[in-house]
Amino acid sequence: MRQKTDLLHGTLDLLILKTLGRGSLHGYAIAQSIKSVTDEVLEVEEGSLYPALQRLELNGWIEGEWGTSASGRRARFYRLTASGRKQLQAETARYRSLTTAIAKVLG
């Protein structure tokens, strides 16, 4: 039985930015990559993924461009912008600080 894992606020943005730091991907591939890298512990649903992609694009951290997926379907491919790379560094530092603090509490 799979247990639902809730992400901390802002973590999804970090996961998407980090995933796109490895190269341009369409939405479904982003979700699959996160699922695969986390050994299926984290599963990003469409209802969370696509609003996050829109938010990241509005913030100027990613850019989307229409193209064709490996399966031949029309898909929007996303890539990090220079601003997105800076945001990824800032978010990574913030997350590491947070997890260090939580680890101290947990002992």
Rounded to whole angstroms, the Cα distance separating 68 from 25 reads: 11
- Evaluate whether residue 35 is within a structural domain: yes
Condensed to tens digits (0 to 9), the pLDDT of residues 79-105 reads 999 999 999 999 999 999 999 999 999
CATH number of the domain that residue 36 is part of = 1.10.10.10
Condensed to tens digits (0 to 9), the pLDDT of residues 54-84 reads 999 999 999 999 999 888 999 999 999 999 9
Condensed to tens digits (0 to 9), the pLDDT of residues 9-21 reads 679 999 999 999 9
pTM, full prediction? 0.88
- Evaluate whether residue 97 is within a structural domain: yes
- Evaluate whether residue 4 is within a structural domain: no
- Evaluate whether residue 61 is within a structural domain: yes
- Evaluate whether residue 1 is within a structural domain: no
DSSP H helical ranges for 1-107? 11-20, 27-37, 46-58, 82-106
Give me the number of domains the chain comprises: 1
- Evaluate whether residue 93 is within a structural domain: yes
Q: Which domain holds residue 64?
A: 11-106
- Evaluate whether residue 6 is within a structural domain: no
Give the residue from 9, 5, 95, 12 showing the smallest Cα distance to 41: 5
